[in-house]
Structure 1
Amino acid sequence: MSVSAIPDHLKDLFSFERPIVCALGTVMPSGQPQLTPVWFDYDGTHLIINTARGRQKDRNMTRNAKVTILILDPQNPMHWAEVRGYVDEATEVGGHAMIKRLALKYRGKEEYNLPEGQVRVTYKIAVTKVNGN
């Protein structure tokens, strides 16, 4: 899906200038939904998230590529986007650089204290459907 496929009235929610924490929905082995607040970026084609290898969301997305993401405007909770999609790519390459880019968006500094030995994974989420208000 290209950026033009995101309705104009929702595009602000995807902007790098809007550090909105989104809710990432994945599926547990039991089928139970699992939600996690995460930082995200959008490259015009994919939603991009980053996590530490071995966390629940990492294990869930490795097993089942389907995800749903809710982006809720903190200034207007009736302005939101639900993004449905699937993991198109997962890589450890550049994982540390990506979490620092996200830190710039959310903290204003490209600094992120990584625990020694932590492996970061960047997930590119292909967008299949966008709903919202």
Structure 2
Amino acid sequence: MSTKTIPEEFLDLFEKRAYGHLATIMPDGHPQVTPVWVDYDGEYILVNTSRGRQKDRNMQRCPQVTLEIQDPDNPYRYLEVRGVVAGATEEAAVAHIDKLAKKYTGAEKYPWLAPGEVRVIYKIKPERVIPH
């Protein structure tokens, strides 16, 4: 059964170190899939990336995305989220990637931030959520 919201019984995936697999569309129409760290603010799924990366360019051009988030404790339990990019911001993006780094790596700060790197938070609005 699909919905437009994240089912309550799957919200724990956003508290765990559950990796997402983000599918975006390349200019030639092929899908491009990238493992990503994920966050949820109660309305949007948040994905943080660097400006200029392929997924950044793809989402700027084509806002339709699909995200699969798998339970690290049970690989047969996962969410498929089909959605649309509802916005993007560079504001507080470094603080956000630091928060995600703490969750996923235990580090207080994102350890791979390059000098001059610009981070961006993409807000993905779920349009169809399929729990498995």
**What is the TM-score when the length of structure 1 is the normalising length?**
0.90
User: What's the CA shift for 1:57?
Assistant: 0.2
Q: Judge conservation of contact 2:17–2:72 (CA < 8 Å) in 1.
A: no
Partner of 1:10: 10
**What per-residue deviation string (whole Å, max 9, x for no partner) do you get for residues 13-48 of structure 1?**
23x2x0111100100001100000000100110000
Q: Given the alignment of the two structures, is residue 129 of structure 1 paired with residue 115 of structure 2, yes or no?
A: no
Instruction: Pick the aligned partner of 2:54 from 53, 56, 65.
Output: 56
User: What's the CA shift for 1:123?
Assistant: 0.5
User: What's the CA shift for 1:129?
Assistant: 1.1
Q: Given the alignment of the two structures, is residue 68 of structure 1 paired with residue 66 of structure 2, yes or no?
A: yes
Q: CA RMSD in A?
A: 1.4
Which shifted more, 27-36 or 75-84? 75-84
Partner of 1:38: 36
- Partners of 1:44 and 1:121 lie apart in 2 by 19
What secondary structure, in the 3-state scheme, does the structure 2 residue paired with 1:13 have? Answer: helix
Partner of 1:78: 76
- Matched length: 128
Structure with greater proportional strand content:
2
What secondary structure, in the 3-state scheme, does the structure 1 residue paired with 2:74 have? Answer: coil
**Structure 1: any 5+ residue segments left out of the alignment?**
none
- Partners of 1:99 and 1:74 lie apart in 2 by 20
Partner of 2:90: 92
**Structure 2: any 5+ residue segments left out of the alignment?**
none
Partner of 1:117: 116
User: What's the CA shift for 1:79?
Assistant: 0.4
Which shifted more, 111-120 or 28-37? 111-120
What secondary structure, in the 3-state scheme, does the structure 1 residue paired with 2:75 have? Answer: coil
- Partners of 2:57 and 2:22 lie apart in 1 by 13
- Partners of 1:99 and 1:30 lie apart in 2 by 30
Whichever residue aligns with residue 27 of structure 2, its letter is P
What secondary structure, in the 3-state scheme, does the structure 2 residue paired with 1:5 have? Answer: coil
Whichever residue aligns with residue 117 of structure 1, its letter is G
User: What's the CA shift for 1:109?
Assistant: 2.9
User: What's the CA shift for 1:110?
Assistant: 2.5
**What is the TM-score when the length of structure 2 is the normalising length?**
0.90
Whichever residue aligns with residue 130 of structure 1, its letter is V
